[in-house]
Structure 1
Amino acid sequence: MLRRPFWFYLGPAFLVSVGYMDPGNWATSLEAGSRYGYALLWVITLASAIAILMQLLAARLGVVTGQDLAQLIATRYKGWRARGLLSTAVLAMMATDLAEFLGVAVALNLLLDIPLVLAIFLTVFDVLLILWLERFGFRWVEMTIIAFVATIGLGYVVELWIVQPDWTDVAVNWFVPNAQVFDNTALFIALGIIGATVMPHNIFLHSSQVLTRMSDEGDHDRRRILKLMRWDTVGALTAAWLVNSAILITAAAAFHEKGLLITDIDQAYVTLGPLFGEAAALTFGFALLASGIASSTTATMAGQIVFEPFLGRKVNVAKVRLWLRLATMIPAVIAILLTAKPLSLLVLSQVILSMQLPFTLVPLILFVSSRSLMGEFRPPQWQLNLAWACALLIIALNLWFLGAA
């Protein structure tokens, strides 16, 4: 049997990683950095560690069972339970797509100075892009997403070079909690960073995308795939941790040290120009555009993954993705015409995601805990205990946000 090279198995986690550096995360990190400097960096480290654990479980589930999470829900629960869980997942995909394409629209609005409503309609092209790329195979899609991730990372290397942060403070606050700043607002922002880290579509997408690496391997090869998928996941989400950290570090160095509070993405773009020159603002805008396109693309991919088990049949991929985009785009256009701010719509999408999250995390952990399903590939008990603790923490934080929203 032909043994595939290690690099063949790398890529699925990079599709997932853009969900951890999406436009919704930008606003939280920008406010955290501008309001508290580097003091909340450790929260990003904690949130990233939790994300790595959950995505490792999702990848393991797909590799071991040969099915993604949506398919397992449909086959093992059946009836009203399966349809109920999958219907909440469909709603979550729509909410995710709303947040992601708004990031693209805001970036186009800022960079091209075009009306926000027109920018929203232009976002349909990212769906057409992914449909076109898929004709050439999954590797082209992944390489395009990796290119977007590299663009975001490069953008923030440039930003950090421009703003010149205090790297000593950064190194300390990355790993050491700072209790001195913990007033109610800091707690709210910190909980926001953690509570919005693990999103349902990332779990579904990762458990599905690893299947593109599977063929008729035996158990020995499956162990090798799991090992390589661990490297893929840890590497990709470490990159996401660095990018999210860079957003907060940039905000701390650029705004906090000058006494400026940033609470929205477009505010950061407008403010960077006068402070550090047009290059800083443009770099920020292009990184935001790359983030929005990449995360919007993966959100629509996740939508198709859930729709097929939900409907119980194969679906036309092009129709599903276009309908998903239209179903979220039209309400957003109406809301913005009625003077709603993009940030308000982002908050709404996060509330919907918080309501759905238990219906994704609980089945995930139950499935990977099943000895009959996972066999010898069941995770060690300490890992499962840690997963339950993290899931309960995330669910509690999201419920807290839901009550406070």
Structure 2
Amino acid sequence: MTHEKNTKEHQSVVQHANGASLEEINNTVVMPSKGGFWRKLAAYSGPGVLVAVGYMDPGNWITSIAGGAQYAYALLSVILISSIVAMLLQSMSAKLGIVTGMDLAQATRKATSKPVGFILWIITELAIMATDIAEVIGGAIALHLLFGMPLIVGVLITALDVMLLLLLSKVGFRKIEAIVATLIATIFIVFLYEVILASPEWGPMLKGFIPDPQIALQPGMLLLALGIVGATVMPHNLYLHSSIIQARQYKRTAAGKREAIKFSTIDSNIQLTIAMVVNCLLLILGAAMFYGVESDLGRFVELYNALSDNKIVGAVASPILSTLFAVALLASGQNSTITGTLSGQIVMEGFIKMKIPMWLRRVVTRLLAIIPVIIMVVVYNGQDAKVEELLIYTQVFLSVALPFAIIPLTIFTSSKKMMGEFANPKWVKYVAWFIAIVLTILNVYLIYSTFQ
């Protein structure tokens, strides 16, 4: 009898999911019918891992390392604040998907005209492309460091990572989450160990978590701060989270939704805390090794070389540390490949209702991403420092694109009509609007300063 009831409920949920975001994974992860807090948390854990990946991609690496190299520990406060902002926004995103059964792209398209939806789709696609460019550059440089490949060859090889995605798509969504979590743990351990070796100054480091007014007053500092914000609060992650959370077979009742919101928020906050720590470790590493050094340091190649240079790191310097760094960089890029493709599919289906095979989506996205990188490599004759500069600007673009995702998310999750009893409390609503307004003002100022 219970089995029949569960079967009927499952069938009704599947019917509800028809035309849903990422239909191939929607409602596929079985949840325990009984169990305590930890068992339920374990079952809901996974979407937060995939979201956190976007906060630890090569774009984060270069902005955090450059921030530490140029301004010591001052930008740690930016990482802290933007991580807290990310936790709030991601919880709102997951809640939207759980309560409405729509992802952010679908909800936005439903609330706007076709032309507006198309424009928002283009902006979001460009943000995803900017993320993909960061992955291409990070992967190419990692291959160059590990195997001595010319950058142009590494860039072309990254175009083949579509095969990795095709293989992972065969093993099941839950296993993909486990693989990504393992790679994240590897990255965390590598950088924690390397920061310990770098012996940072604890006083200035702790002071760096207190916001400094100079960040808003110095254009160069503001540029990197916005790059960190763009790399930390990822616009495409808001679309991603609202979709993949629906892979869980939670009950589509008020009580079931309430439980799903609770555990998905905990999952997300845990994973984003880990991502924040990784980003702080990267900035601390850049500051401890490169701040005040009169050289073009703070880049991937220089950091790689420094880890095996006993004049910088000391007696513990070792080629093994350099290799670990390059492996972590490669793992970071490949991790982001998975989530970038899923996000692209979500926004394409949601905004313009167009469905294409995932492998074709991956090929098109990657080809569009490698073109500007190839141009940079050719123009600057393979100079990795010049190519890495493109990474910083891709992260700034992500920051510029962010309000176009935050504003609809805030409107929808604050709407009693859409969310009912799950609508944002007033304090969440006001904080979210404050975030959207401040980011918009800062971005307008940044663009004005750039042209000036």
What's the TM-score, normalizing by structure 1? 0.92
**Residues 28-83 of structure 1: per-residue CA shift (max 9 Å, x gap):** 22122223333332221111111111111111111111111111122332422222
**In the alignment, which residue of structure 2 is the partner of 1:149?**
184
Please list, as runs of the form range in 1=range in 2, the aligned pairs for 1:274-353 lying within 5 A after superposition.
274=309, 275-276=312-313, 277=317, 278-339=319-380, 341-353=386-398
Amino acid aligned to 2:330? L
Aligned match of 2:83 in 34, 43, 48?
Answer: 48
What's the TM-score, normalizing by structure 2? 0.83
CA positional deviation for 1:182: 8.4
Amino acid aligned to 1:247? L
Q: Distance in 1 between matches of 2:253 and 2:217?
A: 54
The question of 1:360 aligning with 2:405 is answered yes
**In the alignment, which residue of structure 2 is the partner of 1:136?**
171
CA positional deviation for 1:323: 1.2
**In the alignment, which residue of structure 2 is the partner of 1:192?**
227
Q: Distance in 2 between matches of 1:34 and 1:327?
A: 31
Aligned match of 2:256 in 221, 229, 232?
Answer: 221
Residue 35 of structure 1 contacts residue 262 of structure 1 at CA under 8 Å; is this kept in 2?
no
Q: Distance in 1 between matches of 2:400 and 2:222?
A: 21
CA positional deviation for 1:165: 2.4
Q: Distance in 2 between matches of 1:74 and 1:286?
A: 40
Amino acid aligned to 1:338? V
Residue 354 of structure 1 contacts residue 399 of structure 1 at CA under 8 Å; is this kept in 2?
no
Residue 40 of structure 1 contacts residue 173 of structure 1 at CA under 8 Å; is this kept in 2?
no
Give the unaligned 5+ runs of structure 1: none
Give the unaligned 5+ runs of structure 2: 1-5, 7-31
Residue 64 of structure 1 contacts residue 222 of structure 1 at CA under 8 Å; is this kept in 2?
yes
**Residues 200-228 of structure 1: per-residue CA shift (max 9 Å, x gap):** 11111111111111454321121111110
**In the alignment, which residue of structure 2 is the partner of 1:96?**
131
Moved more, 347-356 or 270-279: 347-356
Moved more, 87-96 or 64-73: 87-96
Q: Distance in 2 between matches of 1:193 and 1:59?
A: 23
CA positional deviation for 1:398: 2.7
- Give identity over the alignment, percent: 39
Residue 96 of structure 2 contacts residue 413 of structure 2 at CA under 8 Å; is this kept in 1?
yes
**In the alignment, which residue of structure 1 is the partner of 2:33?**
3
**Residues 304-351 of structure 1: per-residue CA shift (max 9 Å, x gap):** 111223442432111111111112123322332222732233244235
CA positional deviation for 1:375: 0.5
Please list, as runs of the form range in 1=range in 2, the aligned pairs for 1:5-404 lying within 5 A after superposition.
5-6=39-40, 7-170=42-205, 172-173=206-207, 175-178=209-212, 184=218, 185-256=220-291, 262-274=297-309, 275-276=312-313, 277=317, 278-339=319-380, 341-404=386-449
- The total of aligned residue pairs comes to 404
SS in 1 for 2:297: coil
Q: Distance in 2 between matches of 1:326 and 1:215?
A: 37
Amino acid aligned to 1:365? T
Residue 351 of structure 1 contacts residue 401 of structure 1 at CA under 8 Å; is this kept in 2?
no
**Residues 341-380 of structure 1: per-residue CA shift (max 9 Å, x gap):** 3223324423543443222111111111111110000110
Residues 190 and 82 (structure 1), Cα distance of their counterparts in 2 relative to 1, 3 Å cut: closer
Amino acid aligned to 1:94? M
Residue 301 of structure 1 contacts residue 321 of structure 1 at CA under 8 Å; is this kept in 2?
no
Computing the radius of gyration from Cα coordinates, the structure with the larger value is 2
Amino acid aligned to 1:40? L
RMSD of aligned residue pairs (Cα, Å): 2.3
Q: Distance in 1 between matches of 2:448 and 2:388?
A: 18
Amino acid aligned to 2:80? T
Q: Distance in 1 between matches of 2:409 and 2:77?
A: 27
Residues 354 and 194 (structure 1), Cα distance of their counterparts in 2 relative to 1, 3 Å cut: closer
Q: Distance in 2 between matches of 1:190 and 1:331?
A: 24
SS in 2 for 1:123: helix
CA positional deviation for 1:168: 4.7
Residues 345 and 36 (structure 1), Cα distance of their counterparts in 2 relative to 1, 3 Å cut: closer
Q: Distance in 2 between matches of 1:75 and 1:292?
A: 33
Q: When you count helix as a share of all residues, which structure comes out higher?
A: 1
Q: Distance in 2 between matches of 1:76 and 1:177?
A: 37
Q: Distance in 2 between matches of 1:86 and 1:186?
A: 30
